[in-house]
Structure 1
Amino acid sequence: MADSSTPPAPSVRPAVAADGPVLGELDRSTWSTLHSVQPRPQPPYAPFFDDRHLPRDILVAEAADEAGEQVVAGYIRVVPPTPLACNAHVRQIQGLAVAGWARGRGIGRALIRAACGAARADGANRITLRVLGHNAPARALYASEGFTVEGVLRDEFFLGGRYVDDVLMGRPLAP
């Protein structure tokens, strides 16, 4: 039994279209060259969901905020890496964000575990991702969840005045 100072575990659910505005705000508030190769978003902001980013591809974590209200604390996007039938057994994490106030509370870990479970339920037997080499916290989290480095594209991006590696990670999805 958790003591009263331990926040309850986050809940994870599929996204719905109505989550778009709060997920867009989460994306903008967490933007950093630590994890993004895209330029900082500028107004007018594009919708979070579009033809390539659908609610069905997103899992949302909810947790109690400072006021004790259950609110969106993070999300993860998991999709087939290509439309090819020859790698339909693979899913790829193509986005993970956790609100600043929710960091250190197991939100990212819960999202990764839920994503692996959803990918397995969808028939996948492998999951992959790409992470920037200088993002040590994310790399450590992925490694602790069984992801291993499968390749490194050296100096693939120039961010914040320096070259950054693109690290390819993956893991099997055992039943």
Structure 2
Amino acid sequence: MSDYGAAFYDHFSRFIGAPKARQVFRQSEEAPSIQILRYEKVFPGCAVSNSLGLSRYEEVIGEVAEVTLVTDAAIEASERILANALFFIVQNRIQMDRGMSIAGVSKIDPGFAKEFDKEALYFTIPYAFPMGYEKVKLPAPGTEGFVYSAMFVSRAEHDFVMAHGADAFEDLLEKKGVDPFDIKRASVV
């Protein structure tokens, strides 16, 4: 199990500065932790929360990757839900990929799911970040890691992704002019 933490931390620092807060999440004492680093003042009115430690599960998730989540409300709850979703991915040996949607927000935080009508995390390529943010140069020559972006979606949106795929869903988001950082936004489906 390789540790790519320094490469991702340096990458994040280069693009969005130093984190303002950090939470550490564990699924067990033996398994590697996943940290969630919080960055402020990257986007107006939002916090950027980046995972650090998912990349240690490279053999399980199929690649060296971390995840960025940008939200404009319920930041701590969002970070806890993200960490839980990432551990779910690891525990179920799910391969990271653009267009995957992990349901179960209501099992992690029923109040959050009800208040914001969000039931899943949808994973895609980062948007609104500077060019190159999604690719991370790793220590070994010619190797790179990847940064996925996550956004909260409703049950109907999750079901739409499962039925029609990432391209159709992202086309719909674009057509409707959705702000993916707005956690209070209405479902597009």
Bigger strand share: 1
Tell me which protein shows more helix as a share of its residues: 2
Structure (1 or 2) with the larger CA radius of gyration: 1
TM-score after normalising by structure 1: 0.30
Taking structure 2 as the reference length, the TM-score comes to: 0.29
